Copies of this chain bind each other. A is one copy, B any other.
């Protein structure tokens, strides 16, 4: 694996609830076995109808109070949706950082206002991003006969480092982690601490091509030789094992 190629799937139409992403991608891309497709969460959520219209939301007192503490003074109904999508609030001063029911720790529970078209409609994360990735993978295999890996990605901030990077929420048909523990390095040493978050590295790489305003929500990564099968949930560190807390 000494070279890699990444390209955007071109001319994808705007995605609406009920659209089949596997069909759309199959019709626009010439895929090869072992390609990895990285699909932006937003189009997955749209296709799955994971949308909420703020016009139907009533903000609680807590949501209104938190909205007043945040730097961008969001609509309290948006804060309500974010709280509805969370199991734990990590921080609610200046920015709102939560843990979602999937276990992801991120800003605003992954709820997003931008690029939806209708101003008061927001996207929620898929219920089960691993299942979303698997559905796309299986539909592409059904339509084209080609076995691809699929990652559903979103951009997350990180503690201690500035800026957002693209990460893997859902994974199908490729490993999420590559465990090199016990593999000798060049000098014959045991690389005991090395578990590579390969699905996150792939999501990051695709993020370079996606660039949020470029309307390139699906990126193909070609040239990998990954063995195995993993899940986006493999990348979530159990709270009890969070060595940085």
Contacts and interface: CB of A to CB of B under 8 A. Distances in A.
A243 interface: yes
A187 B116 contact: yes
B105 A200 contact: no
Given A115-B185, A159-B237, A161-B237, A208 B211 contact: no
Interface residues of A, number: 76
Contact of A115 (B115, B160, B189, B212): B189
Interface stretch (A51-59, A61-69, A127-135, A163-171): A163-171
Contacts of A148: none
Number of copies: 2
Nearest to A106: B160
A213 to B, nearest CB: 6
Contacts of A1: 208-209, 211, 214
Most central of A114, A117, A208 by chain B CB within 10 Å? A208
A6 interface: yes
Given A2-B7, A208-B224, A164 B195 contact: yes
A207 interface: yes
Given A115-B185, A187-B114, A237-B162, A72 B193 contact: yes
A201 B214 CA distance: 17
Nearest to A104: B160
A180 B213 contact: yes
A227 to B, nearest CB: 13
Contacts of A201: 165-166, 204-205, 207-208
Contact of A3 (B6, B94, B116): B6
B204 A164 contact: no
A90 B160 CA distance: 12
A40 to B, nearest CB: 12
A204 B153 CA distance: 14
Interface string A187-224: 10101111111101110110111011111100000001
B180 A91 contact: no
A4 B197 contact: no
Nearest to A160: B105
17 contacts: A1-B209, A2-B216, A4-B205, A72-B193, A90-B244, A114-B187, A155-B194, A157-B244, A159-B237, A160-B237, A160-B242, A161-B197, A161-B236, A166-B201, A186-B215, A196-B211, A202-B208
